[in-house]
């Protein structure tokens, strides 16, 4: 499914959060949204799925204004993993993942074989099969993040929105989550839109990148063409250099902050 935003503006308390933002997200591709803190990245993500409806402009899904799609229909094709999330402390992994099936159930509907299959598949994808009876509060940070990701996967969305999915995770767990996202994209052709802070994750795990700066789109396109040392200097005010790692991937590394008076 094709997702697009046109001339999006968001104002909160008289302050502009986004201004005249237009962008497209290619079906079946992975798009990373990056930019400085406060640039409007998370706000854009919330606008795309109507978690934030206080905007002007239009968001379309296959050409249709998402405001006319209906929330239940929208939740059947689109899922979001926000930064802020919570569940009752006694919730088990399986129970949490089963919440992702709600959009597909009828009123007071019971769990179907299709629900069970989706939950089982989500557990396997996130390597949580042996954890399904564990309470969420007993899990490590990486395990807990995979459980929340599994909940969105059980929803079986055609479009998956992720707001900083690797925040607070150590290096190994960051790679684990990014690898799961890549597998989901490859296996199900799921359109992925993810807000990322790690520039090299954006370079290595996305097909397209959108850079947001000063509430606007600064640049968009292929990661290697957009995430350059020059652009990082302009967007993040850092001096950066590139090198090739042992796997043959080009990596960009910030060296120092640029002083601007």
pLDDT tens by residue, 103-136? 988 766 678 899 999 999 999 999 999 999 999 9
Cα gap 192→176, rounded to integer Å? 16
Looking at residue 3, its pLDDT comes to: 97
Average pLDDT, the chain: 94
Q: Do residue 143 and residue 183 come from a single domain?
A: yes
Looking at residue 85, its pLDDT comes to: 87
Looking at residue 10, its pLDDT comes to: 97
Q: Do residue 220 and residue 255 come from a single domain?
A: no
Per the structure, the count of domains in the chain is: 2
Q: Do residue 149 and residue 252 come from a single domain?
A: no
For residue range 39-90, what is the model confidence (pLDDT) as tens digits?
999 999 999 999 999 999 999 999 999 999 998 899 999 999 998 888 998 9
What confidence tier does 172 reach under pLDDT thresholds 50, 70, 90?
A: very high
Q: Do residue 24 and residue 129 come from a single domain?
A: yes
CATH of the domain at 130: 3.40.50.300
User: To 10 degrees, what angle do helices 141-154 and 113-125 make?
Assistant: 140
Instruction: Identify the three-state secondary structure at position 41.
Output: helix
Q: Do residue 184 and residue 245 come from a single domain?
A: no
Q: Do residue 132 and residue 253 come from a single domain?
A: no
What confidence tier does 261 reach under pLDDT thresholds 50, 70, 90?
A: low
Q: Do residue 128 and residue 239 come from a single domain?
A: no
- Of the candidates 216, 251, 252, 250, the one whose C-alpha atom is nearest the C-alpha of residue 233 is 252
Q: What mean pLDDT do residues 135-150 have?
A: 95
**Does residue 98 have a pLDDT over 90?**
yes
Q: Do residue 78 and residue 191 come from a single domain?
A: yes
Q: Where are the alpha helices (DSSP H) in the chain?
A: 41-48, 71-77, 93-98, 113-125, 141-154, 171-188, 199-205, 223-226, 229-236
Share of the chain above pLDDT 70, in %: 98
Neighbours of 119 (CB within 10 A): 23
Looking at residue 84, its pLDDT comes to: 85
Identify the domain containing residue 204 by its residue range.
Answer: 3-227
Output the pTM of the full model: 0.94
The answer to which of 6-20, 155-169, 245-259 has the lowest mean pLDDT is 245-259
For residue range 195-218, what is the model confidence (pLDDT) as tens digits?
999 999 999 999 999 999 999 999
Q: Do residue 195 and residue 248 come from a single domain?
A: no
Q: Do residue 239 and residue 173 come from a single domain?
A: no
Cα gap 198→204, rounded to integer Å? 10
Q: Do residue 242 and residue 190 come from a single domain?
A: no
Looking at residue 134, its pLDDT comes to: 97
DSSP for 53-73 reads ---EEEEEETTEEGGGT-HHH
Q: Do residue 124 and residue 249 come from a single domain?
A: no
């Amino acid at each position: 499914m094709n997702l697009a935003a046109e001339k999006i503006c968001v104002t909160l308390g008289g302050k502009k959060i986004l201004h005249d933002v237009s962008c497209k997200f290619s079906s079946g591709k992975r798009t990373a949204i990056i930019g400085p803190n406060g640039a409007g990245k998370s706000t854009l993500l919330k606008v795309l799925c109507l978690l934030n409806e206080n905007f002007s402009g239009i968001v379309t899904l296959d050409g249709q204004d998402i405001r006319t799609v209906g929330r239940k229909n929208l939740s059947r094709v689109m899922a979001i993993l926000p930064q802020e999330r919570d569940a009752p402390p006694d919730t088990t992994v399986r129970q949490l993942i089963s919440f992702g099936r709600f959009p597909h159930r009828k009123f007071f509907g019971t769990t179907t074989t299709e629900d069970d299959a989706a939950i089982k598949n989500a557990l396997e994808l996130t390597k949580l099969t042996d954890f399904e009876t564990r309470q969420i509060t007993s899990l490590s940070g990486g395990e807990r993040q995979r459980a929340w990701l599994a909940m969105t996967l059980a929803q079986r969305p055609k479009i998956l929105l992720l707001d900083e999915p690797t925040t607070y995770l150590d290096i190994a767990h960051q790679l684990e989550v990014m690898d799961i996202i890549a597998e989901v994209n490859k296996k199900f052709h799921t359109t992925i839109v993810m807000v990322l802070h790690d520039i090299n994750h954006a370079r290595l795990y996305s097909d397209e990148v959108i850079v947001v700066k000063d509430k606007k789109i600064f640049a968009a396109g292929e990661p290697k063409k957009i995430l350059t040392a020059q652009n990082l200097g302009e967007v993040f005010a850092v001096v950066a250099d590139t090198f090739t790692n042992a796997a043959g991937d080009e990596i960009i590394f910030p060296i120092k902050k640029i002083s601007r008076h």
